[in-house]
A and B are shown apart, each in its own frame.
Chain A
Amino acid sequence: MDIQMLAEEVPVEGEYSLEGVDFITSGEQYLTFLLADEQYAVDILCVEEIRSWENPTRIPNSPCYIKGVINMRGIIVPIVDLRMKFNIGEAVYCETTVVIVLTVETEDKTRTIGFVVDAVSDVLNVEANEIKPAPVFGGCVPQSYLDGLVNVAEKVVTILNVKTLQAVEKHQIN
């Protein structure tokens, strides 16, 4: 299949299917995942890779939600358990438990952190105007982590801000 030719046939906007391949050319794409039975999403462009759970090396005196660090092809990547960080559901590690590795470029460097979630579910297409601001009512997830809500069928997906997710809180001993 000549990719160049295919690409020319794809219209500029809208969804288009060719020989069973979906082409999506509008809106932003998000990767959705589950924490307990709640749906969350992050910008798919930040996703470096999705790994299965492996036991990391602990970092001494770190908060409980920082599980430790793993070796990802020679890079030391810290692992944060989102369920523990946001206090959603139970932090159990089973076969569907996965780690979503997110990379974000900050001013002068890139930062790569892995996040433990219960399961990865889907890729979501969202137009900017579909994202609604999250209501300011309690909840486990602090407001600064939320980019907005998206309605998908009957469900609501919460879009998380990757930049705030990546900002590791300073922690001290004791």
Chain B
Amino acid sequence: MSVDLSQFIPSFLEESFEGLELMESSLLDLEQGDDETINSIFRAAHSIKGGAGTFGFNNVTEFTHLVETLLDEMRDGRRKIEQDDVELLLDSVDCMRLLIESIRDETECETSKIIETSVLLEKTLAADGVEVSEAITINSSDTVESKTDDSSTWQISFIPEHHLVQTGNDPLLLFNALADVGEVTIVACAKDLPALNDIDAEEIYLSWNITLQSSAEEDDIKEVFEWVEDECELIITKEELSNGDLSIPELLTEPASLEEADSIVPTPTIEVPVQPTSSPSATNTDKPVSKAKTELGSIRVGVDKVDSLINLVGELVITQSMLSELGNDFDLSKVERLNSGLEQLLQNTKELQESVMRIRMLPISFAFNRFPRLVHDLSKKTGKEVELILKGEQTELDKTVMEQIGDPLVHLVRNAVDHGIESAEVRIANGKPKKGTIMLDAYHQGGSIVIEIKDDGGGIDREAVFNKALEKGIVDEKTVLTDAQTFDLLFEPGFSTAKEVSDISGRGVGMDVVKKNIQALGGRIQVISEPGKGSTFRVNLPLTLAILDGQLVQVGTETYIIPLITIVESLQPQKELINRVSGDMVLYRLREDNVPVIPIYQLFNIPCEFDNIENSLLVVVEADGQKIGLMVDDLLAQQQVVIKSLNDNYQQVDGISGATILGDGSVAMILDVPGIITMALAQAQLNQQNRSRLQPKITQSISEGVNS
């Protein structure tokens, strides 16, 4: 009986990619050099090698073996950690990634780079005086055949425990692996075989005696059994030595994968597949497991999160049974109990929902992890010294958002290194430290997450941007642009002010894509730049894409939803606190603040019940540090709403972030508060321009009440 190993390949791939990431980040840290780091790199490489061996991905095993040997020498202190070696190891990590990706995509990978790197690795290994204990070539089986002269005979007794196959091990694969080491003769021993009706088809009852003719050392043979040594009785004896009392070998080490997994994630984790799959035993034997593709991802979720989910489900079940018991013989005297039961149900549902949403949240370090390497490579390529500072890596973000934001961030960081940071000479001439700094920061702000990419470079040259826009015909000479508007030009397609096109950036493709991607996620990007001091790209993203707490408001016959998180307070305006300034702007005095009042009906051109500020209600909202008062007719309920995109069948609408379906089946628009502020600003500017030509309008409907 054989277990279909292919079902474990996705987990192998996932662990390998994690291992590679760990190797990469540790290698970058290694520059300072310490034992624990090199050990963790070694362990990661070792478990990739082991896993690849189990599944028969020989090219990965062979390549990783070289890497491992080099790492081993470093670990033992036989080799000094040189910068060149670290670079070589980083390249090797790239190669391993290529190899593993090719397994995942089931494609042939490009071998030239891998061969090149492995030749380099071998050279490095050989150049050093240290004798490499094992013969290393890309094709190990050739070696074995060529050196049969000093072969010896090994007797191996392999008595697996009954449940061996259930842990994904297959004796046949082990024997095949042994056959690679040397010539084998295998005799199966069936003395433990129970009667036919006692046989459990998923257990293994056989044991084997193996005679191996090989030049290999004992360690090499043990290595074949490395993954099963906990689950079998293994006796290896050399024929020449007449002593048969060589006992079961000591366990060499704990399987490396356990330690490695612990070092990646501090809290214990379990795997929760995103898509429901049928129970593994059903897929075990009879049908081939469908090939896992990249999009079928899984999330690692902390056990604490799962535990809290289980608790909540428990409470939900209790509430349910209470309610159903209540319903058995219901009369009016029990209304109160029904109400409290429903209340409890509401609470449970809400908490459950929050917990489920939390499962999709991952710390943003998942997206940030790739940047140290990126900046390292870029600074080498551009010859600029750049230090990368990561902040707020524990900030949690929805998995979907995280996946989508990776590429735009890479682009922005790349730009910061290439365009932002000046060359060392320029920096010194400007009295700045020689080493440039790029800071990546993530933090929560209200209902959104903010990611900042900040450099201390030369800032954006406003004039160059304007001239370029002129050249492209986007603006004409008379146009007067604010800073923000100027920087917005950077996101026009095909816009680049770089004097030279380098292979890193400057072709002008990208920034428009960056903006598009961010907008597709319902986010915004903002540029702040000070000449000589540097620039900041601030990306605002919604925390989650699905659900939002909303305040329903009524304007005329329409119902709108204001995200609860943006609301500072709602109030009934008092006449004395309404002020009219600079012609037509209405301000409301909210304690110390003067809050500009924006009538929604005017902004959206809809009829409403109260066009006078005194009779309406004011919802004070805040976005981007700006408070405004939205004039509405009435406040309705507060409820959670599921966000539906207007983009799918229509297009983005200014001032609206999406729509939702209310309890009665009707559609309501969700207000985009920052968008409304931008709109109001734009309208104010337009009014100002008109006014410079026309006489100012004396009466403004909403302020009539103030003047009379």
Q: Enumerate chain A interface residues (CB-CB to B < 8 A).
A: 56-62, 68-71, 74-78, 109, 111-113, 168, 170, 172-174
Asked if A56 and B667 sit within 8 Å, CB to CB, the answer is yes
Asked if B651 and A76 sit within 8 Å, CB to CB, the answer is no
B668, CB-defined interface residue at 8 Å: yes
Q: Could you say which interface size class chain B belongs to?
A: 20 to 34
Asked if A60 and B661 sit within 8 Å, CB to CB, the answer is no
Asked if A113 and B649 sit within 8 Å, CB to CB, the answer is yes
Q: How many A-B residue pairs have CB under 8 A?
A: 73
Smallest Cβ-Cβ distance to A80: which chain B residue: B650
Residues from chain A with a CB closer than 8 A to the CB of B682 are: 173
The answer to whether residues A59 and B666 also contact, given A69-B646, A69-B650, A78-B650 and a CB cut-off of 8 A, is no
Asked if B661 and A74 sit within 8 Å, CB to CB, the answer is yes
- Expressed in whole angstroms, the minimum distance between the Cβ of B376 and any Cβ of chain A is 36
The answer to whether residues A62 and B648 also contact, given A57-B558, A71-B667 and a CB cut-off of 8 A, is no
Bound form: Cα–Cα A69–B666 in Å = 9
Residues from chain B with a CB closer than 8 A to the CB of A111 are: 648-649
- Expressed in whole angstroms, the minimum distance between the Cβ of B492 and any Cβ of chain A is 16
Smallest Cβ-Cβ distance to A113: which chain B residue: B649
The answer to whether residues A60 and B666 also contact, given A76-B646, A111-B648 and a CB cut-off of 8 A, is no
> Which residue of the partner chain, among A56, A70, A109, contacts B648 with CB atoms under 8 Å?
A109
Asked if A77 and B605 sit within 8 Å, CB to CB, the answer is no
- Expressed in whole angstroms, the minimum distance between the Cβ of B651 and any Cβ of chain A is 6
Residues from chain A with a CB closer than 8 A to the CB of B654 are: 60-61, 172-173
Residues from chain B with a CB closer than 8 A to the CB of A68 are: 667
Bound form: Cα–Cα A113–B645 in Å = 14
Asked if A173 and B679 sit within 8 Å, CB to CB, the answer is yes
- Expressed in whole angstroms, the minimum distance between the Cβ of A80 and any Cβ of chain B is 10
The answer to whether residues A76 and B644 also contact, given A57-B666, A111-B649, A174-B686 and a CB cut-off of 8 A, is yes
- Expressed in whole angstroms, the minimum distance between the Cβ of B645 and any Cβ of chain A is 8
Of the candidates A60, A71, A111, the one having the most CB atoms from chain B within 10 angstroms of its own CB is A60
Q: 10 tightest CB-CB pairs across the interface, nearest first?
A: A60-B604, A57-B667, A78-B650, A71-B661, A76-B659, A76-B644, A71-B667, A112-B649, A69-B667, A111-B649
Asked if A168 and B651 sit within 8 Å, CB to CB, the answer is yes
Asked if A71 and B665 sit within 8 Å, CB to CB, the answer is yes
**CB interface residues, B 381-427, toward A, < 8 Å:** none
Residues from chain B with a CB closer than 8 A to the CB of A56 are: 667
Asked if A60 and B651 sit within 8 Å, CB to CB, the answer is no
Residues from chain A with a CB closer than 8 A to the CB of B656 are: 59-60
Residues from chain A with a CB closer than 8 A to the CB of B686 are: 174
**CB interface residues, B 264-302, toward A, < 8 Å:** none
> Which residue of the partner chain, among B558, B653, B683, contacts A62 with CB atoms under 8 Å?
B653
- For B626-649 the 0/1 string (1 means CB < 8 A from A) is 000000000000000000111011
The answer to whether residues A58 and B648 also contact, given A71-B661, A71-B665, A71-B666 and a CB cut-off of 8 A, is no
Residues from chain A with a CB closer than 8 A to the CB of B655 are: 60-61
Given contacts A61-B655, A76-B648, A78-B646, 11 further A-B contacts (CB under 8 A): A59-B650, A59-B653, A61-B654, A71-B661, A71-B665, A74-B644, A75-B649, A76-B644, A76-B661, A111-B649, A168-B651
Smallest Cβ-Cβ distance to A173: which chain B residue: B654
> Which residue of the partner chain, among B606, B645, B650, B665, contacts A58 with CB atoms under 8 Å?
B606
Bound form: Cα–Cα A29–B665 in Å = 33
Smallest Cβ-Cβ distance to B645: which chain A residue: A76
